[in-house]
Amino acid sequence: MSSSPAHPLSTSSILEAAKAQVRRFGETKTNMVDIGRALGVSHAALYRLFRSKSAIMDAIVDEAMRDEEALAAAHIEADGPAAERLLAMLLNLHRRKRERFVGDREIHDLYRRILVERPDMIAAYAERMTTLIARLIAQAVERGEWKVDDIDIASGVVRDAVTGYIHPAFVAQLIVADAPIETMLGATVATLSRAFRAGMDYRPPA
């Protein structure tokens, strides 16, 4: 086995090779030796960039999370009413999760496992996504579309209300049940939007 791969070894090339191995053999049967062999290097070379197989698996899921974050962020500066942009954002996130479950099951299963075993990663992801939702709500308030007295609380409410449509485990259950997911998501966003348009005052009663 050559110690000089055809292309320079990088985190990106390692992740691509690892994903190919996971898709072919599953996460549990994927190991550092196989990843290194696919890249034409000794598995020892991988440790210069990743401390373990677990670190590579975490990085694959983090890459997917960052992709979803970029997908959501594209709707923040888009044109159109806040309600339409929020629905489009959430539909795109749901569709990305659906694509993974239907067409990339091994990566979906890896993502789903990380949700359980790495709460720190999930908390950071949830915080970033909630921040994006808060930015959208703040825009709507500034433009007079919605009336919300506490944007942080409102963004948390939206996050909690739509988790069932974008959490991998729930998405899998809804797809298997053949639920009208996009219709359900549309109704949820319509309800939230109408509440925000009417005005939400989260201050406790005097």
> Same structural domain for residues 104 and 40?
no
CA 120, chain centre distance (Å): 14
Q: Given a cut of 90, is residue 198 above it in pLDDT?
A: yes
Q: Is residue 165 part of a domain?
A: yes
pLDDT tens for residues 67-105? 999 999 999 989 999 999 999 999 999 999 999 999 999
Paired tokens of 193: 């939007």
> Same structural domain for residues 64 and 97?
yes
Find tokens 């594209």 and name the residue: 74
Q: What is the pLDDT of residue 6?
A: 53
> Same structural domain for residues 124 and 42?
no
Could you give phi then psi for residue 31, rounded to 5 degrees? -140, 170
Q: What is the pLDDT of residue 136?
A: 97
> Same structural domain for residues 41 and 111?
no
> Same structural domain for residues 148 and 101?
yes
Check if the beta carbon of residue 35 is closer than 8 Å to that of residue 46: yes
Q: The domain that contains 106 carries what CATH number?
A: 1.10.357
Helix 168-176 with 105-117: angle, nearest 10 deg: 130
> Same structural domain for residues 132 and 178?
yes
- The model carries a pTM of 0.88
Helix extents (H) in the chain: 11-25, 32-39, 43-46, 53-73, 82-103, 105-117, 119-142, 151-166, 168-176, 181-198
How many whole angstroms separate alpha carbon 183 and alpha carbon 14?
39
Among 5-14, 100-109, 136-145, 196-205, which range has the highest average pLDDT?
Answer: 136-145
Q: Is residue 21 part of a domain?
A: yes
> Same structural domain for residues 38 and 114?
no
Q: Given a cut of 70, is residue 2 above it in pLDDT?
A: no
Q: Give me the mean pLDDT over the 166-174 stretch.
A: 93
Amino acid of residue 112: R
> Same structural domain for residues 167 and 80?
yes
Number of structural domains, the chain? Answer: 2
Paired tokens of 2: 């050559």
> Same structural domain for residues 98 and 174?
yes
> Same structural domain for residues 15 and 106?
no
Three-state SS for 200? strand
Q: Is residue 193 part of a domain?
A: yes
> Same structural domain for residues 15 and 72?
no
> Same structural domain for residues 94 and 144?
yes
Of 118, 140, 136, whose CA–CA distance to 57 is shortest? 118
Q: Is residue 206 part of a domain?
A: no
Q: Is residue 203 part of a domain?
A: no
- For residue 27, give its domain range: 11-46
